[in-house]
Chain A
């Protein structure tokens, strides 16, 4: 089945630790996105990538980093500089930036 796979489903971070969230898609989509969802805040864009080896900052990129070395993969690293990382993280992809986005089922990150 074609789709977007996010792992792990739940993740716990210790103080001062970097953690990496995985996002893989087999839809052959060019564009990929990372969002953060907090209660009452809606979806906020962290980073997006329209093509391999290129990505742009979204509205809340501080404390996060990404890479796009392969078309199907767009991992997100939550660094220790992100002081409030507890949230639901959603990865999405689209055929190009003018097409609807399709989402994975998210990773819930919590602080230990």
Chain B
């Protein structure tokens, strides 16, 4: 079983829709959780960063972590064509000196 599983999509929605992106992870030692957005031919850009269960909101974006279920989500409200990108979840173990573990990314397309 891979450490981080993410549905690759593609996911297509109309403008204004609520988007839900999800990842599951296998190791309860993971402590930090992140979401990155990657546009074509660009590097990933950090969107959200959290280390606790619950919700964290930033504008139209909400990150949700459920450590009991080992499930992380990113919700995008009022989606825009500019949100069309690949979204990567990432987890970081509690152990110091280790590196991020990424999901494979979900490709999102928002049509106007």
Contact = CB atoms under 8 A, between A and B. Distances in A.
B5 to A, nearest CB: 11
A40 B43 contact: no
A33 B97 CA distance: 12
Contacts of A98: 32, 92, 96
Interface residues of A, number: 23
B105 A101 contact: no
Contacts of A48: 99
Task: Describe A's contact surface by its main secondary structure.
Answer: strand
B104 interface: yes
25 contacts: A4-B43, A6-B43, A42-B105, A43-B102, A48-B99, A58-B99, A90-B43, A97-B96, A97-B97, A97-B98, A98-B32, A100-B32, A100-B49, A102-B46, A103-B36, A103-B43, A103-B45, A104-B43, A105-B41, A105-B42, A105-B43, A106-B41, A106-B42, A106-B43, A108-B41
Interface string A66-107: 000000000000000000000000101000011011111110
A35 to B, nearest CB: 8
Sorting the interface of chain B by its residue count into under 10, 10 to 19, 20 to 34 or 35 or more gives 20 to 34
B10 to A, nearest CB: 12
B99 A40 contact: no
Interface of A: 4, 6, 33, 40-43, 45, 48, 50, 58, 90, 92, 97-98, 100-106, 108
Given A41-B104, A42-B88, A43-B102, A100 B46 contact: yes
B45 A42 contact: no
